[in-house]
Amino acid sequence: MPHTKLVCTLGPASAERIPALIEAGMSVARLNFSHGTEADHRRTATAVRQAAATVGWPVALMADLPGPKVRLGDLVRGSITLRDGARLLIRGHDAPGDETVVSTSHPALGSDLEVGDRVLLADGAVELRVLAAGDLLETEVVRGGTVRSGAGVNIPSERLTLPAITERDRRALEVALSIGVDLVAQSFVRRAQDLSSLRTLLGRHRVGVVAKLETRAAVEDLAAILEGADAVMVARGDLGVEIPYEEIPLVQKRIVAAALAVGRPVIVATQMLESMTAHSRPTRAEASDVTTAVLEGADAVMLSAETAIGRHPIEAAKAAMRICGFAEANGAAYETRLERSRPFPPPVVADRRPVHGGGLPTEEEAEQRAAWAIASAAADLADRDPHIGALACYTTSGRTAALLSAARPHKAILALSADPVVLRRLALYRGVVAGAAEQPADTDAVVALIDRVARESLGLGTGASVVIVAGSPVGRALTNVLRVHRLG
């Protein structure tokens, strides 16, 4: 299986085919709370847990909150086609719309806009220009097209008065937490403070926060958002509405590089294999797009419509994994080089907040930096020695595995833990193969456990070497041991 992880959005096309998606390579199942009912999400989440238990490896559940997203109301025929130069009225109250007047989910939209502002529908398929603002918003169609009921309505994010966490988000979050999701993706993050609002609602729940970067304001506050998030997503759909399309590839590179620099998992999303919504093979441009994400160092690529409503969900998942695998096996000369010798704030994991210089007493901060140095050395050693088949660790919190992943070795990382929450959270980390195991008594027992599991699960033969990274005493110390062990 490739080191790059696959996030699949579940929907009508895939809800009954979850075991096949997992077999194809899905590591994280995305529940899109912008669509579907509570019953749908509960049923799908149960199916994911059952299928993962059957195959015997962890699959994370990620709830994607709707966020302060403005959407069109219902349309009389389900969709309308708007012509260039036509006038379109937008009202706040809910009533079926047509080619002359439509409603939105944000009653105060007209108050947020000014004459001359640009309004985009359906991820930019239609462009409007505001002629008159107020309770009844009058617009002119600058670029026509077809839009469906519930299509997105994009305005400049700095103008939108909706709160970071809407009432719809709160209801969705209650359902997501009752389901037992592992990750929550926060939509339309504009600044780092938005993440604090979500963390307050999460309370003591052991759930990771994924900041979706889809506004210009978020890109401008990237460093602070990376510090406050457990992971980030380059959500190119809405980001491509706020930022000119020619800028998106370089913005993506900037975000991925910044995430790698501080050890945050990063997902590249939107239209990765969009043509496979209808066709059984990706385009060459899409293959190049997925390859670019892999070579930039992304932890995961995400499929949206391809697996949620597409005709070929399993084929799309297999195609994504096939492209990722080939890029990893043959693209080393083109990939982004990671400076492992840099000072490094440890990555966020299941139960521990990130550490940044000055936040801990000197002794503990030194231990954190030593842990990163050991993980970096382990990655270097594994990459230099062809006889080393994998890296391995036993981890109670997930930190050691996260550090090894952040060092981006070219070998697999076997991470064993007794904590199912930790195992599922690690499903997002590049290169990590997570497995359940009871906590060993000491480091010798760790070595014996890894010796057995590496041969059974990774297919490594007797005589192959594994770089083992551990904390001693087990379960009570940070990463402080590096050992090369020959299997058998």
Q: Provide CB contacts within 8 A for 278, sequence distance 6+.
A: 310, 311
Asked whether 152 and 133 are in contact (CB, 8 A), the reply is no
Q: Is residue 344 part of a domain?
A: no
Q: Which amino acid is at 398?
A: G
The verdict on 205 and 299 lying in the same domain is yes
Write the CB contacts of 179 (distance below 8 Å, at least 6 apart in sequence): 31, 41, 42, 45, 61, 63
| pLDDT tens per residue across span 96-136 | 899 999 999 888 888 889 999 999 998 888 999 999 998 88
Chain segment 426-457, per-residue pLDDT in tens: 999 999 999 999 999 998 999 999 999 999 98
- Comparing C-alpha atoms, which of 88, 197, 190, 196 is closest to residue 145? 88
pLDDT at 356 > cutoff 50: no
Same domain, 60 and 179: yes
Angle of CA points 321, 241, 111, to nearest 5° = 140
| DSSP per position, 287-320 | HHHHHHHHHHT-SEEEESHHHHT-S-HHHHHHHH
Whether residue 451 is found in the same domain as residue 384 = yes
pLDDT above 90 as % of the chain: 75
Q: Which residue has the tokens 């809910």?
A: 94
Check residue 304 and report its DSSP letter. Answer: S
The candidate with the shortest Cα–Cα distance to 410, out of 430, 435, 428, is 430
Q: Supply the pLDDT for residue 390.
A: 97
**E strands within 68-167?**
70-71, 79-82, 87-91, 101-103, 118-121, 126-132, 137-143, 145-148, 152-154
Any domain includes 12: yes
Sign (positive/negative) of CA torsion 470, 474, 478, 480? negative
CATH code of 476's domain: 3.40.1380.20
The answer to whether residue 338 sits within a structural domain is no
Please list the alpha-helical segments (H only) found in 102-221.
109-112, 167-179, 192-202, 216-220
CA angle (279 as vertex; 427, 185 as ends), nearest 5: 30
More confident residue, 343 or 204: 204
User: Would you state the pLDDT for residue 337?
Assistant: 81
Provide the pLDDT for residue 354. Answer: 44
The answer to whether the CB of 485 falls within 8 A of the CB of 466 is: yes
**H runs (alpha helix) in 385-482:** 399-406, 420-425, 443-457
For residue 297, tell me if it sits in a domain: yes
Q: What is the pLDDT of residue 362?
A: 66
63 and 76 share one domain = no
| Residue 463 shares a structural domain with residue 401 | yes
Per-residue pLDDT tens digits for 50-61: 999 999 999 999
Q: Is 441 exposed, middle or buried (0-12, 13-18, 19+ CB in 10 A)?
A: exposed
Claim to verify: residue 34 and residue 168 sit in the same structural domain:
yes
Taking each helix axis from N to C end, the angle separating 284-296 and 248-261, rounded to the nearest 10 degrees, works out to 30
Q: What is the pLDDT of residues 127-177, one digit of tens each?
A: 999 999 988 899 999 999 999 998 889 887 777 888 889 999 999 999 999
Count how many domains the chain has.
3
The pLDDT, as a whole number, for residue 405 is: 96
CA distance 348 to 355: 8
Q: Residue 115: which CATH number?
A: 2.40.33.10
pLDDT at 270 over 90: yes
What residue has token string 């550490």? 355
Q: What is the pLDDT of residue 74?
A: 92
Choose one of 109, 133, 154: the last residue of a domain: 154
Q: Check pLDDT > 50 for residue 357.
A: no
Give residue 351's pLDDT: 53
Pick the last residue of a domain from 154, 172, 203: 154
The yes-or-no verdict on residue 344 having pLDDT over 80 is no
Q: Where residue 95 falls among pLDDT bands split at 50, 70, 90? A: confident
- CA distances for 156 relative to 104, 109, 290, 382, angstroms: 16, 12, 29, 47
pLDDT mean across residues, the chain: 91
The total number of residues shown for the chain amounts to 488
**Domain assignment of residue 128, yes or no:** yes
Q: Are residues 185 and 303 in the same domain?
A: yes
Cα–Cα dist 137/116, whole Å: 12
Last residue of a domain, one of 314, 332, 350: 332
Model pLDDT for residues 29-48, shown as the tens digit of each residue: 999 999 899 999 999 999 99
Instruction: Encode 457-475: b = buried (16+ Cβ within 10 Å), e = exposed.
Output: bbebeeebbbbbbbbeebe
pTM: 0.91
Q: How far apart are CA 299 and CA 297, in angstroms?
A: 6
- Domain membership of residue 34 (yes or no) is yes
Q: Is residue 267 part of a domain?
A: yes
The verdict on 80 and 64 lying in the same domain is no
- Same domain, residue pair 268 and 303: yes
143 and 55 both lie in a single domain: no
| 304 and 208 together in one domain | yes
CATH number at residue 198: 3.20.20.60
Give the confidence band of 366 by pLDDT, cuts at 50, 70, 90. Answer: confident
Band the pLDDT of 338: cuts 50, 70, 90: confident
Residue 258 tokens, joined: 């910044």
DSSP string of 42-60, one letter each residue: HHHHHHHHHHHHHHTS--E
For residues 372-397, give the mean pLDDT: 94
State how far the Cα of 150 lies from the Cα of 66, in Å rounded to an integer: 12
Range of the domain at 442: 362-486
265 and 140 in a single domain? The answer is no
Q: What is the mean pLDDT of residues 5-26?
A: 97
Backbone angles phi, psi at 393, to 5 degrees: -160, 155
Residue 339 counted as domain residue: no
Residue at token pair 């000369």: 333
The catalytic residue positions are 30, 71, 212, 270
Q: Is the dihedral of CA 224, 5, 271, 168 positive or negative?
A: negative
